[in-house]
Structure 1
């Protein structure tokens, strides 16, 4: 297990220790008030771990406390890892950001775009632009998620069995064929919509590398970085480290059996968009690799120039998500926030009324996990819990504020 231990006093790296304790006191209320079962939070500055704490339990029935070795379902925090995998292949010259994905996935050769009508009988037109690799990385391909419940195409996904998961027995290749047969929400590159694009990207990684996605991750990313507890399934003898996933009901927190099953059985479909489990110690190593420009402890996955490209805004016209994106649920404001190659990217903290830095990049997961990297302040922060849906509480913006207000140098 990749360990995560405090190795610096806050004042050594320009943080006020008393102010930093506000992180714990704030999130402790979520446990005390019965809004979360438990959580972990980790904060670093200049590569030093200055804060790592836990509260609550992983199982309300057994009162098992949150500890250092909890294995969390990180859901969409898988997406940055898949994006790194794709960019590693770009660096090797095996793919290019402008490549039409039909070169690797022929089922996407003739996409059609929704223009009107119900899900049962939609009117469509041919796409005027092929879906390109950068469209997948930026969620501008025109793909969607069934769980959005915002558009007829979302309903088409649901009728085919794709809402939060996939039909039983379906693998990634088959899922991509189904998605390719569905109409796109819009012409590729013309809007932003959070979607299965990163799952399709994972399939591109498989086809180009000749490896299953789990093999590529283990051999090229998680293995070299020492992320020993990160994968698509928790070994049977380690299942006791996996928390239950909770949701709020009229009677209070209740375990969600469907989500709690994630990670207990090896999945047929390897979801590059949301399939991984990980620990705070493991994901810490991933964030440090990003903060250090693609390298950690002598292991280099990406060039610093590649990480810099990934963490710039790629939305056309330097638009933010508020103006370029579909109006969907969001854990925090999309004003002044763009999107790079796998990450949200802060363009203007003033526009977003956010206590953070321009250039901060981040993402989170369905079960309310979140991370961000602030290169300007050399800060990383991670929050782990297991609560769905992630849009319920303002965890991400509060975490940023509570960390930044402790910076005093």
Structure 2
């Protein structure tokens, strides 16, 4: 499964920001060292930590490792494959943030606009106890979780209805005063619908997925894609094995879709295209999605000294988590690396200093660790450990 197609990569194609399969040595990585990633993932399968995994490493515009181990469906005997489809959950959030930045690039909205400019119900949103906030929540607050909105990020009916209900709920804190993970990206996605005049899922297809050729990424997987879905697993009561799990994000339902906070399904080779576009400063294969300035805003510290999740030493950009002080699960990444995880253990991270992209796709719940899981830590450690220049 490793590099099924080796293509000749020229200096010209790298300058154009292509993302192609390449030989590890061309990107300064050791092939034998990269092969240890699959071996290590297989050990996690044997230890009943995961049913299987898809891992992808890219460096300097080339995919240098793409591996699939274990099962996508244990009972059905279906192997994990490089095109296995995963529920990427909150890895949706940076893509949603990107859609907002497209509209900012076009001068159609400003990050510091109050949300009420587009969704009037937010004019009357109160802080806990019924008092008026010292200022209204802004689009920027929605992209970086400084808005005070609280929910499980699940849609209640349509996206429009969900956001109207959020506007009627009380804020947990004064906007901008602290960081608390929440449904802000759903509000941002609704703003995109209102400003663009298009359903959110359609806007993403037209402005991000189609130009980037992310043809397997969608809120509405086809029947064929659902046949390739990695099923969700959780530990058995005695923790000695894994069993099927359930979660509302796996309920593909047109009535409650799209969910800009966590509803996307994707595959590794699609996700790397979005991340490479960001790493390139907003374009891929000659198609510009975002301005360089928009990418800089998304991937630089916006949260100041506020304490943020999900592992120590992090801050927040716009839609992206930012590594300020690498430690633990992030110690092998340079300061300024950015990315986002998902509820089921998936991870996508970009280290601009090393010009590297790390994509980990698994499907599990109710395990300890979250963004600090051993699986993520070991994957990144082995990938960075393969650097030879």
Please, what TM-score do these two structures have when normalized by structure 1? 0.85
2:357 is equivalent to residue 368 of structure 1: no
1:42-84 deviations in Å (ceiling 9; x for gaps): 0011001111101101111111001122111111111111100
Mapped to 2, the partners of 1:36 and 1:5 lie a distance apart of 28
1:128 pairs with one of 130, 134, 138: 134
- Asked whether the equivalents of residues 4 and 281 of structure 1 are also in contact (C-alpha less than 8 Å), the reply is no
Task: Indicate the RMSD between aligned Cα atoms, in angstroms.
Answer: 2.1
Q: Is the 8 Å Cα contact of residues 366 and 389 (structure 1) preserved in structure 2? A: no
Of 62-71 and 12-21, deviating more is 12-21
- SS of residue paired to 1:363: strand
Q: Does 1:290 align with 2:268?
A: no
Could you say which residue in structure 2 is the equivalent of 1:256?
245
Q: Deviations over 1:332-370 (max 9, x none)?
A: x222x1100110111233698711112111101111111
Deviation for aligned residue 1:5: 4.8
Counterpart for residue 113 of structure 2: 99
> Does the Cα contact within 8 Å between 2:155 and 2:259 map onto a contact in 1?
no
Separation in 2, partners of 1:66, 1:27: 12
- 1:334 counterpart residue number: 312
Instruction: State the match for 2:218 in structure 1.
Output: 231
**Matching residue of 2:188:** 201
Is the contact made by 2:155 and 2:256 (CA closer than 8 Å) also made in structure 1? no
Where 2:376 maps in the other structure, the secondary structure is: helix
Change (3 A) 1:258 1:340: closer
Q: Deviations over 1:5-59 (max 9, x none)?
A: 5632222211122322332222221101111111100001100111110110111
- Secondary structure of the residue that 2:354 maps to in structure 1? coil
User: C-alpha separation between the residues in 2 aligned to 1:4 and 1:22?
Assistant: 18
* Gap change, CA 1:352 and 1:224, over 3 Å in 2: closer
Structure-2 change in CA distance of 1:351 and 1:248 (3 Å): closer
Paired position in structure 2 for 1:175: 162
Q: How far did 1:166 drift?
A: 3.5
* Cross-structure match for 2:12: none
**Contact 2:146–2:177 at 8 Å: present in 1 too?**
yes
Residue of structure 1 in register with 2:307 after alignment: 324
* Alignment match of 2:325 (pick from 344, 348, 351): 348
For residues 313-344 of structure 1, the C-alpha deviation after alignment (integer angstroms, 9 at most, x for no partner) is 001xx32xxx523xx7x4xx222x11001101
- SS of match in other structure, 1:220: helix
CA distance in 2 between counterparts of 1:190 and 1:50 reads 42
Q: Where does 1:161-172 land on structure 2 (aligned, <5 Å)?
A: 165-167=154-156, 170-172=157-159
**Which whole-Å deviations, capped at 9, do the CAs of 1:191-224 have from their partners, x for residues lacking one?**
0011100011100000010000011011111111
Q: Distance in 1 between matches of 2:284 and 2:251?
A: 30
- Aligned in 2, Cα 1:360/1:5: closer, same or farther, shift over 3 Å? farther
Distance 1:397 1:37 in 2: 18
- Aligned: 1:88 with 2:88: no
Matched residue count: 368
Task: Flag the 1:373–1:267 CA change in 2: closer, same or farther, 3 A.
Answer: farther
1:26 paired residue among 15, 31, 40: 40
Residues 360-381 of structure 1: per-residue CA shift (max 9 Å, x gap): 1110111111110111111001
Find the aligned partners of 1:39 and 1:51 in 2 and give their Cα distance: 13
**CA distance in structure 2 between the aligned counterparts of 1:293 and 1:4, rounded to whole angstroms:** 28
Contact 1:334–1:352, Cα closer than 8 Å, also in 2: no
The CA distance in 1 between the partners of 2:386 and 2:274, in whole Å, is 24
Please give the alpha-carbon distance, in whole angstroms, between the structure 2 residues aligned to 1:255 and 1:244. 7
Q: Do the aligned residues in 1 keep the contact of 2:322 with 2:336 (CA within 8 Å)?
A: yes
The equivalent residue for 2:88 is 74
For residues 151-209 of structure 1, what are the alpha-carbon distances to aligned partners after superposition, in whole Å with 9 as ceiling and x for unaligned?
xxxxxxxxxxxxx6344xx1111111111111111100010011100011100000010
Q: Is the 8 A contact 1:293 1:303 kept in 2?
A: yes
Stretches of structure 2 that go unaligned for 5 or more consecutive residues are 7-20
Q: Cα–Cα, structure 1 residues 98 and 385, in superposed 2: closer, same or farther, change >3 Å?
A: same
TM-score (norm 2): 0.89
In 1, Cα distance between the equivalents of 2:260 and 2:249?
A: 19
Aligned to 2:233: 246
1:258 CA displacement: 4.0
